[in-house]
Amino acid sequence: MRKIAIGSDHAGFPYKEPIINWLTSKGYQVNDYGTYSADSADYADFAHPVAAAVETGEYEKGILLCGSGQGVCITANKHQGIRASLVWDPEIAALSRQHNDANVICFPVRFIGLETALESLGLFLETSFEGGRHQKRVEKISC
């Protein structure tokens, strides 16, 4: 069974449950790192645990949600071995996997519809890293 970690702040909260339900219907095991309500919350409190879970290999991929997607993306990318990608479009989702071997997808909930997020997530999960000329580029990412 494929394992996915998910987390959001209050702005991303409205999409979290529908995404979890969608993933579960497709056979994924999902661990929800919070937040668990629409009350104001700090994105880093959820982005760090998701990134750490993916970084250690406990989870195959991660999903992060916040208003702009920027806060969770910046936070996750502080972790070595994490390649978090801000995604607002299905093509960006596929390219983030093909060219960048992204392992965390970040959604800007205030700027993307749920259906677009689900379509993008599906492509993110189904698309493989191309390797080849992209491999040496990905190897240069970590400090």
Helix (H, G, I), strand (E, B) or coil at 48: helix
pLDDT in tens, 121-133: 999 999 999 788 8
CA nearest neighbour of 45 among 74, 89, 1, 8: 8
User: pTM for the full model?
Assistant: 0.96
CATH assignment of 3-139? 3.40.1400.10
pLDDT in tens, 69-116: 999 999 999 999 999 999 999 999 999 999 999 999 999 999 999 999
Helix (H, G, I), strand (E, B) or coil at 104: strand
Q: How far is the C-alpha of 130 from the C-alpha of 1, rounded, in Å?
A: 23
pLDDT score for 130 = 78
Residues annotated catalytic, as ranges = 66, 99
Angle at 81 between CA 75 and CA 84, to 5 degrees: 45
